[in-house]
């Protein structure tokens, strides 16, 4: 017996995850999409798992219901890999720090910095600010204290500290051991493209 819907082509562009993401972003269940389109939940589920290929007419109908341009399903996402060796070194004014920008040059939405810190490395004696909305410090190894105007917070390996952008602070490696930290800054205060 022949299936009503064709099986997915192994070489076809996977679109199921994009359809599922659009559906869930809209807060719609499979049942709601099935009711709106007249398609079965089972068929929609198979489409979202890339187990079957919808016809062009069905694809257009799904995209209309999900407020998604059909072309968006076939656009290759921009993916960039930055290795530690290729990452541009940056100088944020700290002492005893090998710091590199791991987010791609020109990325404006978020910036990821990795700092390999010597024992007793620090960000200077004066409090400083970064022009951003949110700053997150994740300590990969070692221990780092972050000093604010009114208190000091110690961040141990495996923990993360989130602070408001533009909050005056400085940092210091504690315990006489080196540390590795990741700084995530949103939005990126500089693109590093200069």
Tell me, letter by letter, the H, E, C secondary structure of the chain: CCCCCCECCCCCCCCHHHHHHHHHHCCCCHHHHHHHHCCCHHHHHHHHCCCECCCHHHHHHHHHHCCCCHHHHCCCCCCCCCCCCCCCEECCCCEEEEEEECCCCCCCCCEEEEEEEEEEEECCCCCECCCCCEEEEEEEECEEEEEECCCEEEEECCCEEEEECCCCEEEEEECCCCEEEEEEEECCCCCCCC
% of the chain surpassing 90 pLDDT = 69
> What is the Cα–Cα distance from 8 to 5, expressed in whole angstroms?
9
Q: What are the angstrom distances between the C-alpha of 176 and each of 63, 78, 119?
A: 57, 41, 5
- Residue indicated by tokens 């995850």: 17
pLDDT band at residue 121 under the 50/70/90 scheme: very high
Query: How sure is the predictor about 12, in pLDDT bands with cuts at 50, 70 and 90?
Result: low
What is the tens place of the pLDDT at every residue in 38-48?
A: 999 999 999 99
Distances (CA, A) of 141 to 2, 43, 115, 131, 183: 58, 48, 11, 26, 13
What would the pLDDT profile of 141-154 be if each residue is shown by its tens digit? 999 999 999 999 99
pLDDT in tens, 126-174: 999 999 999 999 999 999 999 999 999 999 999 999 999 899 999 999 9
- Residue 6, pLDDT > 90, answer no
Specify which residues 171 forms β-bridges with: 146
Give the pLDDT confidence score for residue 93 in this predicted structure.
Answer: 83
Contacts of 58 (CB under 8 A, 6+ apart): 37, 39
* Segment 26-55 mean pLDDT: 92
For the stretch 63-74, pLDDT in tens is 999 998 988 888
For the entire predicted model, the pTM comes to 0.67
Provide the pLDDT confidence category of residue 193 given band limits of 50, 70 and 90.
Answer: very low
pLDDT at 74: 84
Percent of the chain with pLDDT over 70: 92
Rounded CA separation 123/130 (Å): 12
Residue 106 has pLDDT above 60, yes or no: yes
């Amino acid at each position: 017996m022949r299936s009503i819907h064709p099986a997915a082509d192994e070489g076809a562009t996977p679109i199921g995850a994009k359809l599922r993401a659009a559906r869930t972003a809209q807060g719609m269940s499979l049942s709601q999409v099935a009711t709106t389109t007249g398609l079965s939940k089972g068929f929609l589920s198979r489409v979202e798992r890339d187990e079957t290929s919808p016809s062009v007419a069905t694809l257009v109908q799904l995209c209309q219901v999900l407020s998604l341009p059909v072309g968006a399903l076939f656009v290759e996402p921009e993916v960039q890999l930055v290795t530690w060796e290729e990452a541009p070194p940056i100088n944020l004014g700290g002492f005893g720090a090998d710091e590199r920008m791991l987010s791609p040059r020109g990325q404006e939405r978020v910036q990821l910095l990795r700092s390999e810190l010597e024992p007793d490395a620090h960000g200077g004696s004066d409090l400083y600010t970064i022009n951003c909305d949110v700053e997150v410090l994740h300590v990969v190894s070692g221990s780092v204290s972050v000093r604010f105007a009114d208190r000091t917070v110690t961040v141990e390996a495996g923990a993360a500290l989130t602070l408001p952008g533009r909050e005056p602070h400085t940092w210091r490696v504690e315990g006489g051991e080196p540390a590795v930290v990741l700084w995530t800054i949103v939005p990126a205060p500089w693109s590093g493209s200069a």
